[in-house]
Amino acid sequence: MNIIIFGAPGAGKGTQSDLLAKNFSLKKISTGDLLREEINNKSDLGKKIKDLIEKGQLVSDEIIIDLIENIFKDQNKNFNFVFDGFPRTLKQAEILEKKLKNYNEKIDFVFNLEVNRDEIIKRISGRIFCTKCNKIFNNHFNSPLSSEHKCGDSYLKKRADDTVEVVEKRYDTYIKQTAPLIKFYIEANNLHTVSGLSSINEIFGQITSLIKQ
Ligand code: AP5
Ligand code: MG
């Protein structure tokens, strides 16, 4: 089973993808995480994309498609993915479809998490993540203090692109370059729109029941 979690910055893609990966034994592919890893490792690719990401722009389709192709090549026919933040342009969506076809695979569900701009800005301004276990938290909604997070506060960090100024740019980029994909997936007949404003568990419950229907 292959799933896309789609939505604006801060819609909850990473949060829901982690739950799906854990509960349905899927491999989470977050292009944002992969790109941040390149930046942290100071690789040639990381140096090339750092500025773009910190300005809230998309990296090129070619870079993303290379990342995905490398993952597909290593899969040995075991395709059970949850894609988080990919595809993000029409070109990426078309190439993903073609590549999956080459492996006799397809996208089974696209879940579009709908969240308004004000909520996004509030969520992003409160987001922190653990550099050790990669778990995502929120100072306003989902505090590491109230969860079973064991790594300790010293590992908690904010993302470099999580300032209000950059989030506004990321949101504009989403509206211009990514939101048009909604039409593509409506036409492909596998889009399910879910309100991203409910609680994390309620949203996961809705997604789970759509999968099991
Ligand atoms: P990426 O890392 O994908 O960032 P994004 O799309 O901006 O999304 P976020 O990770 O900010 O939010 P999310 O939807 O995952 O929300 P989360 O679950 O964390 O991409 C970063 C950059 O990389 C892009 O800007 C671009 O430059 C580049 N890039 C990546 N992929 C690319 C591609 N395919 N093509 C080109 N460029 C690409 O939740 C947010 C916060 O809210 C958290 O604190 C969480 O705890 C909280 N929260 C979650 N759900 C709820 C809820 N239901 N109620 C209350 N709080 C909640
Ligand atoms: Mg994310």
pLDDT tens string 144-196: 887 778 998 899 999 999 999 999 999 999 999 999 999 999 999 899 999 99
Q: How many domains is the chain partitioned into structurally?
A: 1
pLDDT computed for residue 16 by the predictor: 98
pLDDT computed for residue 211 by the predictor: 97
Choose, from 13, 28, 123, 135, the residue flagged as catalytic.
Answer: 13
pLDDT computed for residue 19 by the predictor: 97
The 10s digit of each residue's pLDDT in 82-129 is 999 999 999 999 999 999 999 899 999 999 999 999 999 999 999 999
Asked if residue 77 has pLDDT above 80, the reply is: no
The domain that holds 21 is classified in CATH as: 3.40.50.300
> Is position 170 within any domain?
no
**Please, are residues 33 and 142 in contact by the beta-carbon 8 Å criterion?**
no
What Å distances lie between residue 159 and 40, 102, 123, 134, CA to CA? 12, 36, 13, 12
pLDDT computed for residue 145 by the predictor: 81
87 preceded by cis ω (within 30°)?
A: yes
pLDDT computed for residue 146 by the predictor: 75
Asked if residue 76 has pLDDT above 80, the reply is: no
> Is position 85 within any domain?
yes
State what percent of residues in the chain have pLDDT above 70: 100
> Is position 72 within any domain?
yes
Q: Tell how far CA 157 is from the center of its chain.
A: 18
The 10s digit of each residue's pLDDT in 20-62 is 999 999 999 999 999 999 999 999 999 999 999 999 999 999 9
Mean pLDDT of the chain: 95
State both tokens at 56: 């809230």
Report the separation in Å between the CA atom of 73 and the middle of ligand 1, taken as the mean of its atom positions.
26
pLDDT computed for residue 142 by the predictor: 84
Domain coverage including residue 187? 3-116+178-212
> Is position 127 within any domain?
no
> Is position 165 within any domain?
no
Ligand 1 cavity residues, CB under 6 Å: 7, 9-15, 31-32, 35, 52-53, 56-59, 64, 85-86, 88, 92, 123, 126-127, 136-138, 141-142, 170, 196, 199-200, 203
> Is position 145 within any domain?
no
Asked if residue 139 has pLDDT above 80, the reply is: yes
> Is position 202 within any domain?
yes
DSSP H helices, the chain, are 13-24, 31-40, 44-54, 61-73, 90-102, 117-126, 164-173, 181-187, 200-212
The two beta strands, 81-84 and 3-7, are: parallel
The rounded distance, in Å, linking the Cα atoms of 140 and 153 is 16
> Is position 26 within any domain?
yes
127 given a catalytic annotation: yes
Between helices 61-73 and 90-102, what is the axis angle to 10°?
A: 20
pLDDT computed for residue 143 by the predictor: 87
Sign of torsion, CA 202 207 208 213?
positive
pLDDT computed for residue 50 by the predictor: 97
117 given a catalytic annotation: no
